[in-house]
Amino acid sequence: MIKPITFIVDGKEIRGREGQTILQAALEAGVYIPHLCFHPDLKPFGSCRVCTVMVNGRPAASCTTPIAEGMIVESSSERIREYRKILVEMLFVEGNHFCMVCEKSGNCELQALAYRLGITAPRFPYLFPKREVDASHPEVFIDRNRCVLCGRCVRASRDVDGKHVFDFAGRGPEKKVAVNSKGRLAETKLSSADKAVDICPVGAILKKGEAYMVPVGKRAFDRKPIGAEIEEKGTDLQS
């Protein structure tokens, strides 16, 4: 029998199950905790740290921290919001993100998080790195300028698609998503139907021939802010 666990998030009592993480239990209960590298279909990775919360007074990644009876979680305080804003701003300046011309605009989770956190412009200087674009594949292209190293494509290709097309290469500022070939996406076994293609939260991996099929104004985060569906579920659970 799975043991029920009760804990507190921002003063609200949350009931979860043994084996769940803070983020999993909170989302299931209709409490939105901002996140980026996490995806419900993948094993938690804990790379972006956007989901960081205070657990009994100490910072922890909510996507990898298991729930425990009576734990006190702080997720929406001013200091946590400021911490998240800094992380998201750093992701913007460390890459080359031009939202006004990106075909992922309106569907981009990074962009949507910036709106939710009230970011109008990063406070840090842009680095403008030189990064590769690989359009050699007939169905998919990868633009590393937009990559935030969340690892979703790596985990999806390995654990869901069973192909291990993507992995990380390099360290520090030289770290990037590499492919399991001599460097060209066309030489891999990647298919446009792979989970790894659809799971990218930004515009780094995109299918060819589908740009702007959904017009601006009708995209996912044009209609509702990120996290709105989770919070609506929470309202329904309370009613």
Predicted pLDDT at 36: 97
Q: pLDDT tens for residues 112-128?
A: 999 999 999 999 999 99
- Domains belonging to the chain, first-starting first, are 4-76 (3.10.20.740), 87-210 (3.30.70.20)
Cβ within 8 Å of residue 11, ≥6 positions away = none
- Per cent of the chain over pLDDT 70 is 100
- Quick one: pLDDT at residue 183? 76
Mean pLDDT of 158-180: 94
pTM of the model: 0.94
- What is the model's pLDDT at position 173? 86
- Which of 97, 94, 96, 52 lies closest to 77 in space, CA to CA? 52
Percentages helix, strand, coil for the chain, rounded to the nearest 5?
A: 30, 20, 55
Question: What average pLDDT does the chain have?
Answer: 95
Measured between alpha carbons, how far is 138 from 192 in angstroms, rounded to an integer?
A: 9
User: What confidence score (pLDDT) does residue 239 get?
Assistant: 65
What is the rounded average pLDDT of the residues 35-58? 96
pLDDT per residue over 138-147, tens digit each?
999 999 999 9
Strands 72-74 and 205-207: unpaired
pLDDT classification of 130: cutoffs 50, 70, 90: very high
